[in-house]
C-alpha cells in the first residue's frame, strides 16, 4: 500500500530544490502563475530515487520502507522528466539520479551564497580553446515581451515560429512567467517571434544587469545554451545532458565520420570523430 510522504520531507525537498526541475539542463520553474479566474498551479512532481514499491523503478535496492519516503530519496522534477526517469531505470540508475539530485541542490545552495563545506580549493587559471565556433562577443541585450505561451509549452510554441531562411541565424528563446525572452529583437515585425508576442509591450534588459541577479543570470545562460545547442545540432553535434558534454553523432551506421575544422595554427585539418 502506498504511504503519503510526510509534509516535513516534502518541504525539505522543495526548499532544497529551489522550486526548479532537477533534471540536468531543464531547471523549469515548477509553479504556473494564476489568472483572474484561477489560482497558481504547482506542476512539479516528486520522484522516488528508490521506488516506494519493491516492484517500482529501482525498487529492488536495499532501503527500508521508512527511508524510501524521506527527502534524501526524493527528487523534484517536471512531469516530462519524471516520466523519463521512471521509464528508463537502466539509464537513470540509483547512482545517476542521486548524483543528479546532489548536483542540482548544490547549484541552488551556490545561488543563495551558501558555501560548500570542506577545504578551499586552489584557483587555477587556464586558457580554453574552442574550435567549434569563434566567440567574438556576447549579446548585450535580452528582449522580453508578453506571450500567450508559458513554461512547458515549448513544443507548441515552436510550431508558431517563423523560422529564418538563413541557416546560421539562431532563434534561442525562453518561456517564463507569461513572457518570451530572446536575444532576437522582438520589436521587429519581420522577426521569428512577431506573431506570438505583443511587440508593443516589449522590454529590454542589459546583460550586465542580468548577470548580477541569480534569476537574470539563469535566464541569460539558458538563452546562450539554447543558441549553442541549435548551432551544434545543425552540424550534427548532439548534447548529452547526463554527462554534460557534446558529441559527434554518426551520420551513417557502421561508417566512420570525419569533420574538417580550423586548428589553432589556422590550418584546415580533417579528423575522425566517430567510429
91 and 169 together in one domain = no
pLDDT at 131: 63
**Sorting pLDDT into bands at 50, 70 and 90, what band is 23?**
very high
The residue whose grid cell reads 586558457 is 127
Q: Fill in the DSSP letter of residue 114.
A: P
Task: Reply yes or no on whether the pLDDT at 71 is more than 90.
Answer: yes
Task: Give the best-scoring range by mean pLDDT among 15-29, 117-131, 188-202, 254-268.
Answer: 15-29
245 and 170 together in one domain = no
Host H or E run for residue 181: strand 179-182
Is 133 domain-assigned?
no
Q: Are 174 and 145 in contact (CB under 8 A)?
A: no
pLDDT at 74: 96
The residue range of the domain holding 269 is 241-274
Percent of the chain with pLDDT over 90: 30
228 and 264 together in one domain = no
Task: Reply yes or no on whether the pLDDT at 130 is more than 80.
Answer: no
Report the range of poorest mean pLDDT among 88-97, 116-125, 185-194, 222-231.
116-125
Straight-line distance from the first to the last Cα atom of the chain, in angstroms, rounded to the nearest whole number: 49
Is 121 domain-assigned?
no
172 vs 170: CA distance, rounded Å: 6
In the three-class reduction of DSSP (H, G, I as helix; E, B as strand; rest coil), residue 144 is classed as strand
Is 59 domain-assigned?
yes
Q: What is the number of domains present in the chain?
A: 3
Nearest to 143 by CA among 197, 190, 189, 195: 197
Is 122 domain-assigned?
no
Percent of the chain with pLDDT over 70: 91
Task: Reply yes or no on whether the pLDDT at 151 is more than 80.
Answer: no
**Sorting pLDDT into bands at 50, 70 and 90, what band is 49?**
very high
272 forms beta bridges with: 258
Is 173 domain-assigned?
yes
How many other C-beta atoms are found inside a 10 Å radius of the C-beta of residue 214? Answer: 15
Is 123 domain-assigned?
no
101 and 27 together in one domain = yes
Nearest to 23 by CA among 117, 69, 86: 86
Say which residues have a Cβ less than 8 Å from residue 239's Cβ, sequence separation at least 6: 25, 229, 232, 233, 245, 246
What is the average pLDDT score of the chain? 85
149 and 231 together in one domain = yes
pLDDT at 133: 67
In the three-class reduction of DSSP (H, G, I as helix; E, B as strand; rest coil), residue 109 is classed as helix
pLDDT at 158: 85
- Kindly state the cell numbers that stand for 120: 578551499
pTM of model > 0.75: no
Task: Reply yes or no on whether the pLDDT at 115 is more than 70.
Answer: no
Helix axis angle, 7-17 relative to 94-111, nearest 10°?
A: 70
Task: Reply yes or no on whether the pLDDT at 118 is more than 60.
Answer: no
Is 19 domain-assigned?
yes
Is 175 domain-assigned?
yes
Task: Identify which has the larger pLDDT, 149 or 6.
Answer: 6
30 and 99 together in one domain = yes
**Sorting pLDDT into bands at 50, 70 and 90, what band is 141?**
very high
pLDDT at 170: 84
Report the range of poorest mean pLDDT among 62-66, 179-183, 217-221.
62-66
**Sorting pLDDT into bands at 50, 70 and 90, what band is 1?**
very low
Task: Reply yes or no on whether the pLDDT at 185 is more than 70.
Answer: yes
Task: Reply yes or no on whether the pLDDT at 136 is more than 80.
Answer: no
How many other C-beta atoms are found inside a 10 Å radius of the C-beta of residue 186? Answer: 27
pLDDT at 2: 59
- Give Rg (Cα) of the chain: 22
Q: Are 74 and 7 in contact (CB under 8 A)?
A: no
Host H or E run for residue 214: helix 214-233
Say which residues have a Cβ less than 8 Å from residue 198's Cβ, sequence separation at least 6: 145, 146, 147
Q: Compute the half-sphere exposure of residue 143: CA atoms within 13 Å on the CB side of its CA.
A: 21
220 and 252 together in one domain = no
Amino acid at each position: 500500500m502506498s504511504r503519503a510522504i510526510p509534509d516535513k520531507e516534502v518541504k525539505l525537498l522543495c526548499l532544497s530544490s529551489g522550486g526548479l526541475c532537477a533534471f540536468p539542463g531543464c531547471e523549469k520553474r515548477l509553479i504556473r502563475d494564476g489568472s483572474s479566474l484561477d489560482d497558481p498551479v504547482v506542476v512539479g512532481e516528486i520522484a522516488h530515487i528508490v521506488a516506494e514499491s519493491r516492484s517500482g523503478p529501482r525498487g529492488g535496492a536495499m532501503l527500508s520502507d521508512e527511508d524510501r519516503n524521506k527527502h534524501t530519496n526524493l527528487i523534484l522534477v517536471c512531469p516530462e522528466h519524471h516520466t523519463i526517469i521512471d521509464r528508463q531505470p537502466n539509464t537513470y540508475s540509483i547512482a545517476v539520479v542521486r548524483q543528479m539530485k546532489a548536483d542540482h541542490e548544490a547549484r541552488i545552495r551556490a545561488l543563495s551564497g551558501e558555501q560548500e563545506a570542506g577545504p578551499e580549493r586552489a584557483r587555477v587559471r587556464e586558457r580554453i580553446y574552442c574550435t567549434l565556433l569563434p566567440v567574438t562577443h556576447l549579446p548585450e541585450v535580452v528582449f522580453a515581451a508578453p506571450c500567450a505561451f508559458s513554461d512547458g509549452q515549448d513544443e507548441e510554441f515552436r510550431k508558431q515560429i517563423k523560422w529564418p531562411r538563413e541557416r546560421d541565424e539562431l532563434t534561442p528563446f525562453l518561456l517564463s512567467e507569461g513572457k518570451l525572452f530572446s536575444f532576437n529583437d522582438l520589436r521587429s515585425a519581420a522577426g521569428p517571434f512577431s506573431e506570438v508576442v505583443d511587440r508593443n509591450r516589449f522590454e529590454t534588459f542589459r546583460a550586465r544587469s542580468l548577470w548580477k541577479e541569480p534569476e537574470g543570470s539563469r535566464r541569460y545562460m539558458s538563452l546562450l545554451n539554447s543558441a549553442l545547442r541549435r548551432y551544434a545540432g545543425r552540424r550534427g553535434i548532439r548534447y548529452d545532458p547526463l554527462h554534460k558534454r557534446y558529441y559527434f553523432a554518426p551520420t551513417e551506421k557502421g561508417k566512420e565520420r570525419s569533420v574538417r575544422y580550423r586548428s589553432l595554427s589556422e590550418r584546415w585539418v580533417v579528423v575522425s570523430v566517430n567510429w
